[in-house]
Amino acid sequence: MQNKQLGYLLIPLLACIWGSSFILMKRGMFTTDGTAVFSAAQVASIRIFAASSIFLPLLPKLLKNLHSPKDLLYFAVVGLGGNLIPAFLFTFAEQTLDSGIAGIMNSFTPIFTIIVGVLLFQTKINSQQIIGTLIGFSGITWLIRLSSPVNGNFQLAPAMAILLATLLYGFSLNTIKHKLSKYNPIQIATGGFSIAFLPAVISFFYFDTPRVFDQNKFALESFIYILILGLIGTAFAVILFNRIIAQTTALAASTVTYFIPIIAVAIGIYNGERFVWQQLLAMLVIITGVLLVNLKGNKSNK
């Protein structure tokens, strides 16, 4: 019981880490005055390259303790679908979307976690969890409308990229909970990121990332932001997230994405983005949905 309670207490901490990740992506691509530095693909490559480098030395030990060769497929789902591909999708979206909007849209993850869990993993959910998820979803929708540009131009392609990323997150979360639960959080991160390492290295050179260091005077500053994103916002955060999944449920863990918009919007306000009082009400709606999902309802989602 104490481990489960600790898992819930770690959710706000993880939300703070991931909530700040969106501004770090933006700072990797652009300076504060809007000067372009690294491209979207280059930021994603550096991010996953840095994160996967941490876990690669642990791969031989994991392979010795592999329960089944089939688990490599599940690690691939987590590494590629839960980390590598979403990294590229989010940076693509943030070329034109504000970091706060990207953080808000990330909160579609619990919806896809439920859909994938019910359809493919026979996850059991109760009415309270459904109501809580819908309430949280309504809060997210409201927050998106409030945070969209005043002229109403909400670009479809970046939004669809984030929706695809959150769908992949739904697959990854359920895979961790239902197929890789016999491994500890560090082993899961090791398996996933080790598989993502080679594609990240190939992407790093394919998109001519080293050239930026030679030709752009802001490269080192942006690289530091991306390095923080890769090591803390990705590697450390994934271990933390896997631990939360192991100690709670896939759905409960996914509701961390309901807190992320609060952090993302707060950082946006700090950086001078507009804020209206209705956004505070929308955040309260989101928190209400999170509480409904994670209180008594968590017993049914196994």
Q: In this predicted structure, what is the pLDDT of residue 151?
A: 45
Question: How many Cβ atoms sit within 10 Å of the Cβ of residue 63?
Answer: 13
Say how far apart CA 2 and CA 94 lie, in whole Å.
39
Say how far apart CA 211 and CA 193 lie, in whole Å.
25
Place of tokens 């709606």: 285
| Total length of the chain | 302
The three-point CA angle 244-249-255 to 5° equals 75
- Per the model's pLDDT, the better-predicted residue between 159 and 221 turns out to be 221
Q: In this predicted structure, what is the pLDDT of residue 70?
A: 95
Question: How many Cβ atoms sit within 10 Å of the Cβ of residue 206?
Answer: 12
Q: Domain boundaries in the chain? A: 2-300
Highest-scoring range by mean pLDDT, 29-33, 132-136, 202-206 = 202-206
Question: Exposure of 178 by Cβ count < 10 A (0-12 exposed, 13-18 middle, 19+ buried)?
Answer: middle
- Per the model's pLDDT, the better-predicted residue between 106 and 64 turns out to be 64
Question: Exposure of 281 by Cβ count < 10 A (0-12 exposed, 13-18 middle, 19+ buried)?
Answer: middle
Say how far apart CA 257 and CA 269 lie, in whole Å.
19
Share of the chain above pLDDT 90, in %: 47
Q: In this predicted structure, what is the pLDDT of residue 109?
A: 83
Q: In this predicted structure, what is the pLDDT of residue 105?
A: 79
